[in-house]
Amino acid sequence: MKKIFYAFCLAALFTAVSCADYLEQTPTNQYTDAQVWQDEYLVESHLAELYAMSVFMINDALASYDGPSPSPLNVDFGTGAGWSFNLGVSAQGEGPIHATTIADEGKYSERGAQTNYHSYKLYGIQKNSGFMRWWSNGYYLNRQLNHMIESMETSTLGKAKAFQAEARFLRAFNYFAMVKRYGGVPLITKETPLDAPEADVYPPRNTEKECWDYIINECLEIADLLEENPTTAHASKWAALALASRAALYAGSIAKYGNVDLDGLVGIDAGEAEGYFKKSIEACEEIMTKSGKGLYKGSMGKGAVKNLEDVFLVKNNNEVLMSKHHQGIGGGINLWSWDICMSPKPNAWSVGQYVHPYYEFVENFDFVDGSSGKIDRNTLTSKAWTMDELWGNRDPRLRAWTWTNRYHWANAAGFPWGNDTVSMYRGIRLPDGSDYYDLTKNVYKGVQCWGDQMQEFATGTLYHTGFGVAKYLEPGSDCMTWFVYSTTDYIIFRYAEVLLNYAEACFETGHKGEALDAINQIRSRAGIADLKNITIDAIRKERLCELCFENHRYWDLRRWRIAETELSKPHSGITYLLDWASYESSLDADGNRTAEPRFWIEFEDHIDSKTQDPTFLSNNYYLPIGDGTTAVNPNLIENPGY
């Protein structure tokens, strides 16, 4: 009986649990496709992701971002934040920096993990280096955009058409990033299904002309679908027109200055140039006449320099056509790492002062009366100068957007005169003309031998050009404590660029008067004398000065096809030396400083490398597609020269 009882118990237990169905589980961390497309908020969240994945800032970042899986693209801010994560991986800091340092605007500071990238400046970009690649990521994003555009086509959501237009803008912007690199690329405007015919899966390249036309036409089409005045974070009608004007300008100059090769996969027939320039002009004119946007002058009351700084600090000002918004802690975090990369303060771990503008770059900024900024170098080294003598009368844009010795900076030590200024002399020049360099003891008669901002550069094993980048820098930000902390917005399109696009396109089509007028609008806002005559070189120089450090210069030099000469030059920097005589004589009876300090200037030539000057390879007008990519798809033809 007992046995039967046990057997029964056991059998009962079996029946009770044997059907335990643990196999039907639903995910707790994801929405299904169907759920997303029926909910306006979820669609907008997906759209936010697509914006975040777009090339606004990581534009020209590292090769390590090229590859769609498993975690693609740029990462702004992570909960697992650590040193390398924030600094090494924060593409938001690195992207703009790379675009700047590959060009002739500035030198990478050679500190930190990216030292290797220096070699691309010296030796050019090789076939399989992957440097500045935007291919796999680009197509990864493209597919998601296509999927969204198609999903919105049949959607019943009220905002479906608006969402669709924004996605189309992002797609055009994404193609722009690819075409400016590679020339013609395969234009894929529908989501390719897995079982698509082979011809769709292995597409050939479209011609460069087809690509530019596609981008321009898309922009013009969606300009009428997009809202006129959403937040500047959203693509607006004006953003679409601004992209159209930029793309048409690129296409026009490539047609005019470039050569057609590979049956039009790269290059555009010269006869097309005029048409493109005209399209650019039309897009610009529409913005100039209808958008209500203009050059920012809201802080003019505080001076031209402050006004120019505020163009990048006052959020959503009337110059901004589109920007990537950043906001601080509280209700979420969306920040970037520009401040810590560029801040002049000395720092504890080799960050800050990442980009050093070259002296040759600085020479492009004329004096406010319009006279040339190029000063005879022998004159410069012949005497000691106050900073005001050197830079006081320069183009306010130089003073607003770069910093150098004695630049006002909150809490910087500022020795030997006063605080709150950057101090970056390196050595002391004695009255007998000899230099006192004891950088180890760092003292001469009770005075430091080098300024606090030269901490990393004092020994001379790392070269400093004497200048830093101040555009976008929040006053008082520092590189002493935290990485991803910049809350400034990153401007994707601003009105000044539209004026410059307009001026260039007008000049190229013979409308010199309009060109001159546009350039002078820019100059007068900057606080520098108007030009009397207009030349293509003047327009290009204006573009360099106005749009410096904004990821334009490298691409401009390429489309003008002058990178081979302009980016194959040695650059130099300057070193400041404290003038001892003026230091000693400036003390009054009460021990107060009565005069501004003077500094000697020394030039440091071949500052990129003493053994190798920068090289721009002629094939780098188009980046290599790469063996890995062409091997998978034999229909892709590699760019010439690789």
Partner 1 sequence: MKKICIFLSMMAICFFMAGNLTGLAAEPQGRITAKGTVIDTDNLPVIGAYIVEKGNDRNVTVTDASGKFSIIVADNATLVISCIGYVTQQVKAAASLNVVLSTDKEFLEEAVVVGYGTQRVATLTGSVAQINSGKITVAPVVNTTHVLAGQLPGLVSKQTSGLPGQDNAALNIRGFGSPLVIVDGVEGSIQSLDAGQIESITILKDGSGSIYGARAGNGVILVTTKTGSNQKTTVSVNSSVTLQSNIVTTLPATSAQRAQYQNDVYLNKGGNPSRVPYTEEDLAAYALGEDPAYLNSDWYHEVIRQYAPQQNHNVSISGGTDRIKYYGYFGYNRQELQFKPNSGYYDRFNFQTNFSAKATDYLTVGMNMQYMKDCKNYPSGGDLYQDGVNFWQGIIYSADPRYPLYLPDESLLSYANMQNGSPIWAVNIANSGYYQTNGNHFKVTGFAELEIPYIPGLKAKANIMYNYGANDLKWMHKRGQFYTYNAGTDKYSFAGGSVEPSSLSMHNNLSSTIVQQYSLNYDRDFDLHHVSALAMYEATLSQYRNYWTKRQDFNSTIIEEMASGDEETAQNGSGSSNYGRNSFIGRLNYSYADRYMVETTLRADASSRFAKGYRWGYFPSVSVGWNIAKEEFMSEATWLDMLKLRASMGTAGYDAVADFNFLTGYRYDMTYTFGDTMFTGLASTGLPNELLTWETMRIYNVGLDFSMFRRKLYGEVDLFQRDRIGIPGYRSQSLPTTFGATLPQENLNATRTRGFEVMLGSTNQIGDFYYDISANVSYNRTRWTYYDQAEETDPDRIRLYQNTGKYTDRQLGYITEGVFASDEEVAAWPLSFDDLNNDNSTLRAGDIKFVDSNNDGVINWRDLQEIGKGSTPHWMGGLTINLGWRGFDLQALFQGAWGYTIGLSYDSNTSTYCNLYFDQNHNADPNAIVARPAGATINWWTTDFYTRDCAYVRLKNFAVGYTIPERITKRIGVSKFRIYAGGMNLFTLSNISKYGVDPESTGTVGYSYPQQYTMSLGCNIVL
| Contact code string over 144-183 relative to partner 1, x by CB under 8 A | x-xx------------------------------------
One residue of 258, 496, 636, 639 binding partner 1 per CB under 8 A: 636
Q: How far is the CB of 636 from partner 1 (least distance, A)?
A: 7
31 binds partner 1 (CB under 8 A): yes
Q: Is the separation of the CB atoms in 580 and 89 below 8 Å?
A: no
Cα 209 to Cα 580: distance, rounded to the nearest angstrom: 62
Q: How far is the CB of 90 from partner 1 (least distance, A)?
A: 12
Residue-wise DSSP of 389-455: HHHTTB-HHHHHHEE-TT-B-TT-B-TTS-SSB---EEEEE-TTS-EE--TTTT-BTTB-SB-GGGT
Phi and psi at residue 232, to the nearest 5°:
-70, -10
Cα 632 to Cα 276: distance, rounded to the nearest angstrom: 34
6 binds partner 1 (CB under 8 A): yes
Q: What is the b/e burial string over 335-347, where b = at least 16 CB atoms within 10 angstroms of the residue's CB? A: bbbbbbbbbbbbb
One residue of 161, 609, 619, 640 binding partner 1 per CB under 8 A: 609
One residue of 382, 434, 459, 535 binding partner 1 per CB under 8 A: 459
23 binds partner 1 (CB under 8 A): yes
Dig out the tokens for 134 from the structure: 């935007």
Segment interacting with partner 1, rule: CB under 8 A, options 92-100, 390-398, 459-467, 566-574:
459-467
453 binds partner 1 (CB under 8 A): no
CB of 382 or CB of 442, closer to partner 1: 442
CB of 314 or CB of 480, closer to partner 1: 480
Dig out the tokens for 128 from the structure: 């399989």
| Contact code string over 508-547 relative to partner 1, x by CB under 8 A | ----------------------------------------
Q: Is the separation of the CB atoms in 104 and 554 below 8 Å?
A: no
18 binds partner 1 (CB under 8 A): yes
What is the footprint of partner 1 within residues 298-327 (CB under 8 A)? Answer: 325-327
569 binds partner 1 (CB under 8 A): no
Q: How far is the CB of 560 from partner 1 (least distance, A)?
A: 23
CB of 245 or CB of 448, closer to partner 1: 448
CB of 47 or CB of 390, closer to partner 1: 47
Q: What is the b/e burial string over 29-57, where b = at least 16 CB atoms within 10 angstroms of the residue's CB? A: eeeeeeebbeeeeebeebbeebbebbbbb
587 binds partner 1 (CB under 8 A): no
77 binds partner 1 (CB under 8 A): yes
24 binds partner 1 (CB under 8 A): yes
One residue of 101, 164, 307, 448 binding partner 1 per CB under 8 A: 448
Question: Is the backbone of residue 5 left (phi > 0), alpha (psi -120 to 50) or beta?
Answer: alpha
Distances (CA, A) of 23 to 20, 26, 357: 9, 10, 62
One residue of 88, 139, 160, 373 binding partner 1 per CB under 8 A: 139
Residues 263, 268, 271, 275: what is their CA dihedral angle, to the nearest 10 degrees?
A: 140
Q: How far is the CB of 118 from partner 1 (least distance, A)?
A: 8
CB of 15 or CB of 592, closer to partner 1: 15
| Strands 573-579 vs 425-429: parallel, antiparallel or unpaired | parallel
Segment interacting with partner 1, rule: CB under 8 A, options 7-15, 155-163, 302-310, 548-556:
7-15
One residue of 40, 88, 143, 282 binding partner 1 per CB under 8 A: 143
One residue of 72, 88, 570, 640 binding partner 1 per CB under 8 A: 72
Q: How far is the CB of 115 from partner 1 (least distance, A)?
A: 6
Q: Is the separation of the CB atoms in 117 and 99 below 8 Å?
A: no
Q: How far is the CB of 382 from partner 1 (least distance, A)?
A: 20
Cα 366 to Cα 363: distance, rounded to the nearest angstrom: 7
One residue of 63, 64, 83, 618 binding partner 1 per CB under 8 A: 83
Distances (CA, A) of 423 to 86, 329, 403, 451: 28, 32, 11, 5
Q: How far is the CB of 447 from partner 1 (least distance, A)?
A: 7
**Dmax over Cα atoms in the chain, in whole Å?**
118
Cα 385 to Cα 543: distance, rounded to the nearest angstrom: 30
CB of 568 or CB of 586, closer to partner 1: 568
Amino acid at position 324, single letter: K
198 binds partner 1 (CB under 8 A): no
Residue-wise DSSP of 331-353: S--B-B-HHHHH--S--SSS-S-
If one counts every other C-beta atom within 10 angstroms of the C-beta of residue 68, the result is: 15
591 binds partner 1 (CB under 8 A): no
330 binds partner 1 (CB under 8 A): yes
Q: Which residue is it, tokens 């290009």?
A: 540
Dig out the tokens for 384 from the structure: 């000691």
What is the footprint of partner 1 within residues 386-445 (CB under 8 A)? Answer: 413, 415, 437, 439-444
Dig out the tokens for 292 from the structure: 């209500």
Segment interacting with partner 1, rule: CB under 8 A, options 240-248, 259-267, 377-385, 447-455:
447-455
269 binds partner 1 (CB under 8 A): no
Dig out the tokens for 304 from the structure: 């031209």
One residue of 267, 346, 357, 396 binding partner 1 per CB under 8 A: 346
Q: Is 29 helix (H, G, I), strand (E, B) or coil?
A: coil
Q: Which residue is it, tokens 């401009």?
A: 556
44 binds partner 1 (CB under 8 A): yes
Distances (CA, A) of 95 to 88, 127, 131: 11, 21, 12
What is the footprint of partner 1 within residues 610-629 (CB under 8 A)? Answer: 610-612, 615, 617, 627, 629
Q: How far is the CB of 337 from partner 1 (least distance, A)?
A: 13
Q: How far is the CB of 483 from partner 1 (least distance, A)?
A: 8
Binding-site size, partner 1 (CB under 8 A):
125
What is the footprint of partner 1 within residues 107-136 (CB under 8 A)? Answer: 111, 115-116, 118-119, 122-124, 126, 128, 135-136
One residue of 55, 57, 65, 74 binding partner 1 per CB under 8 A: 74
What residues contact residue 473 under an 8 Å CB cut-off, 6+ apart? 338, 339, 342, 343, 403
One residue of 58, 60, 62, 76 binding partner 1 per CB under 8 A: 76
CB of 17 or CB of 589, closer to partner 1: 17
Residue-wise DSSP of 463-519: ---S-EE-TTPPTT--SSS-SS-B-PPEEEEEHHHHHHHHHHHHHHTT-HHHHHHHH
Burial label, 15 (beta-carbon count in 10 A; 0-12, 13-18, 19+)? exposed
| Contact code string over 234-253 relative to partner 1, x by CB under 8 A | x-------------------
